[in-house]
Structure 1
């Protein structure tokens, strides 16, 4: 393990988060130094009540550590959560869908995280250069032949969308021109997704959820245009629901359609029933029917419950939309 001396702003951020978190924040660093930034160089987890950050590359440790700390900060401050509760029965397909959902949702959170990092002095010209070099080092140029994407098209699209979010404030025009030169197909598609993502301010929890719903739909539309299999993230991925106080008192049938799914719960592998929110058609909860129970009766009983009763019964976290 490499030993690093954290910048003062990193120490300040750790101290700020400790005001909201009782556990320890532990940082572990490897010794590799490749000379560019990718978010795959760091990972974090909660373990035994502590928050563990593992940095595998020390090219820009304070940037990477602060990035994970701000992810944790959003988690502590009621950011909507992405949950992956189902399986297709094919673990390879599950891995691909889950990884795509996580990367897209992280990009939505990054719109806030990059801003916070910049405001707190973690992003400067050197970090921007290292981030740009990381994109070029890990995303191969598109082939000159043909007008459609190759097998790396989806990876390029997700990576470039995240990079465009990173470079929104500084060097945006210059960086966009470079991406369009090296990756014309994927960059043009990423710019369309960026427009959808940034249509929301993303400063309130329900805005992050709204952006995710729209981005998942647009991403599937782009895959379909490229004649690639869709991910169906509006159905497969669960997003923390956001309600007004009034909506919590309504019957479930007034806000949700409960749909029997071809997917199964990845906990007990029983058939999954998905609560699709009527206003945005997004998966908001997943339930299963107990063995030997009558599925029709269970669903009717669920529809009869109030939204608050259901959320408490299935132990589903939800957020309250502030009164206007």
Structure 2
């Protein structure tokens, strides 16, 4: 069922109209249906046609939740913040969940501050309901960390959004999910090493979390190296790097179906969507990297990237939000 504008409060209607105006011809639908990816209660999707959809679990709807998703769409449409992660259409569920989670972690503080600025009420009630929902879940924590993937990430996001309530969170969840809480806190504590307002440091943080999960899966005997190739983390360069031969910065992979992608050599993380250049082999692709300056190659292929001077100034090139 699609939400009707006539049912919106005046504050939310004002935000809705502001967001839809910024879409420049693209459409937005709000669908009262549980999201299909992960265990989120609400989620926005930028689909293959460039249009936006917001999915909200009907029984959990509130103006606060809708405004949160509307502001995600606003960021995506206006480039307000760097949007660094996306995933392949046929990606594993784990890749999809991590990509969505990590975009959210980068954006949520801005969104919550914007909600306060716009006097959109409900933050305290939302915190309490989230805590209650976590406590009431019919979930038995496993002694194997990687089997708690979803609950660890849910608690991690919860702590990230509401760290000012960390004592309440620890007191409430410590007995119910002791192992998951410890792992979630470890993910959160990594943040202190990175300025997430900078695309350069935000990207480093994102790749660090992906690597953490690969490491934890490996400890439990599970190979999840595919996260390095299914999750796209857009590259962030300095001006000096952009004037370097591409081969010094990027590596290239080829799938069996003839689709190629680049990865950043420094961290082996896929950094662009799949593409089909006019080449016949991986060797030809590597030669292409060897004879092109990085900026010229990326612009020729219209591949997205960010430029960050690490002094608070950044810009984006060839960027649009990928479908996810």
Shared fold (TM-score, shorter chain, > 0.5): yes
Question: Where does residue 84 of structure 2 map in the other structure?
Answer: 81
Q: Report if the CA contact (8 A) 1:197-1:215 is conserved.
A: no
Question: Where does residue 230 of structure 1 map in the other structure?
Answer: 224
Question: Where does residue 269 of structure 2 map in the other structure?
Answer: 282
Whether 2:13 is the aligned partner of 1:14: answer no
Describe the SS at the equivalent of 1:162.
helix
1:74 Cα deviation after fit: 2.4
Whether 2:214 is the aligned partner of 1:214: answer no
Describe the SS at the equivalent of 2:16.
helix
Whether 2:93 is the aligned partner of 1:96: answer yes
Name the CA shift for 1:216/1:57 in 2 (closer, same or farther; >3 Å): same
1:290 Cα deviation after fit: 6.4
Describe the SS at the equivalent of 1:181.
coil
Q: Report if the CA contact (8 A) 1:82-1:105 is conserved.
A: yes
Q: Report if the CA contact (8 A) 1:277-1:283 is conserved.
A: yes
1:65 Cα deviation after fit: 1.7
Which structure 1 segments of 5+ residues have no match?
33-37, 88-93
Name the CA shift for 1:229/1:118 in 2 (closer, same or farther; >3 Å): farther
Q: Report if the CA contact (8 A) 2:15-2:67 is conserved.
A: yes
C-alpha distance in 2, partners of 1:241/1:292? 23
Name the CA shift for 1:301/1:209 in 2 (closer, same or farther; >3 Å): same
Question: Where does residue 155 of structure 2 map in the other structure?
Answer: 160
Question: Where does residue 136 of structure 1 map in the other structure?
Answer: 135
Name the CA shift for 1:114/1:234 in 2 (closer, same or farther; >3 Å): farther
Question: Where does residue 35 of structure 1 map in the other structure?
Answer: none
> Mean alpha-carbon deviation: is it higher for 102-111 or for 184-193?
102-111
Question: Where does residue 270 of structure 1 map in the other structure?
Answer: 258
Q: Report if the CA contact (8 A) 1:259-1:276 is conserved.
A: yes
Question: Where does residue 195 of structure 2 map in the other structure?
Answer: 201
Describe the SS at the equivalent of 2:304.
coil
Question: Where does residue 126 of structure 2 map in the other structure?
Answer: 127
Which structure 2 segments of 5+ residues have no match?
312-324
C-alpha distance in 2, partners of 1:212/1:301? 28
Whether 2:283 is the aligned partner of 1:296: answer yes
Q: Report if the CA contact (8 A) 1:29-1:54 is conserved.
A: yes
> Mean alpha-carbon deviation: is it higher for 128-137 or for 228-237?
228-237
Say how many residue pairs are matched.
Answer: 301
C-alpha distance in 2, partners of 1:15/1:116? 16
Name the CA shift for 1:95/1:277 in 2 (closer, same or farther; >3 Å): closer
The counterpart of 2:105, out of the listed 96, 99, 108, is 108
1:98 Cα deviation after fit: 2.6
C-alpha distance in 2, partners of 1:198/1:11? 37
Question: Where does residue 41 of structure 2 map in the other structure?
Answer: 40
What RMSD in Å do the two structures reach over aligned CA positions? 3.3
1:252 Cα deviation after fit: 0.4
Describe the SS at the equivalent of 1:193.
helix
The counterpart of 2:247, out of the listed 241, 249, 253, is 253
1:206 Cα deviation after fit: 2.7
Name the CA shift for 1:275/1:44 in 2 (closer, same or farther; >3 Å): closer
